[in-house]
Amino acid sequence: MPKIKTSAYCAIIAIITLAFSYLLCYGSEFTADLVITKHGQTTTGKIYVKGSRYRMEQKESGQDIVILVDQETKITRVFLPAKKMFLEMETTDPRSLMNDPFQGTKFMETRIKPKKIGMETINGQKCEMFVFDDKGKTLITEWISESLAFPVKIINHASSYSAEIRNISSEVIDEKLVAIPPGYSKAGESGAKVSKSSTKQQKEAQDKQKAKYKTQVFTVKGEGRDVDISSTERTVDPDKKLLVTIAANCPVRPVSKGKLSLYREGYQKVCDYQFTLKNGEIKNWEFPAEKEIKHLMVGIYGTGQAKVTLKQAE
């Protein structure tokens, strides 16, 4: 029998290990109840997992919502059955992260390395237990099933949010459940042809609209405890009307809290505005030129995040 060189042997072992890890990550197929609790309110849906893809069925504000996630292509699709439409985005898009606790936790791994603290059985599954700690504070606890290689339970301590899969049943999942159903159109696409003249007119209108305003856009991220505030300052023209728009878009918590502070020349305080926004919510303020606002500060508490847009006439 020919001898195998040590380097070749190690390479074979590495390939086998990689293949085995791939099967663990993407080989399981099962269905379960998906239980999500936000701020004391619990909703129950379904989840179907087929290898690297999974489907979540939920209700939001009385409306049926279906979410398809492909972990290999890193694409999330949110379906609105009532409208026969779907939104498509990357799995790291804030809109995706706030609707998907599994990708939200995976995204957190890019910021904080999870630490394994032991084993525990959850809903009949033997699980590895991990915690995400930041400066001595536990932000997330996660239980990952050894046999399913999928999270069975996630608790986001920072935002009073949890997700859990129960009544797990291993079974072959129909390919149709994790594919785009027929008859659905992608949001923003239309079967109707748009004439070149119409497209040109739209572009000219958009350019005119942009020309009317000088715009500043920036993101403010909270980087401390809930009692700490992280602020960003901007200077504006005190002789012109100011429009301020703040939109919460935090990938790790559903609600962001903050403060908008306005100052005249010499940092004379005009006023403060406290705000609490859910992801996707927008708050607008309009200040006349008579306010003579020269400086403004936007601060975010804890680990929240928000996009800020400032507009003034040219």
**235 and 306 inside one domain:** yes
**142 and 216 inside one domain:** no
Asked whether residue 124 is domain-assigned, the answer is: yes
Q: If the chain, 314 residues long, is cut into consecutive pieces of 10 residues, what is the mean pLDDT of each piece?
A: 40 33 57 91 94 90 87 92 89 84 90 94 96 91 95 90 95 94 80 44 52 82 76 91 91 87 89 90 91 92 90 86
**220 and 175 inside one domain:** no
Q: What is the pLDDT of residues 86-144, one digit of tens each?
A: 999 999 888 788 789 999 898 888 889 999 999 999 999 999 999 999 888 999 999 99
**182 and 88 inside one domain:** yes
The CATH number that applies at residue 230 is: 2.60.120.380
Number of domains in the chain: 2
**43 and 165 inside one domain:** yes
**261 and 114 inside one domain:** no
Asked whether residue 273 is domain-assigned, the answer is: yes
Host domain of residue 142: 28-186
**88 and 224 inside one domain:** no
Q: What pLDDT, on a 0 to 100 scale, did the predictor assign at position 119? A: 97
Task: State both tokens at 86.
Answer: 């779907």
Task: State both tokens at 188.
Answer: 């923003």
Q: What pLDDT, on a 0 to 100 scale, did the predictor assign at position 227? A: 64
**160 and 104 inside one domain:** yes
What is the SS3 assignment for 123? coil
Q: Using CA atoms, how far apart are residues 151 and 25, in angstroms rounded to an integer?
A: 11
Asked whether residue 286 is domain-assigned, the answer is: yes
Q: What pLDDT, on a 0 to 100 scale, did the predictor assign at position 194? A: 38
**107 and 234 inside one domain:** no
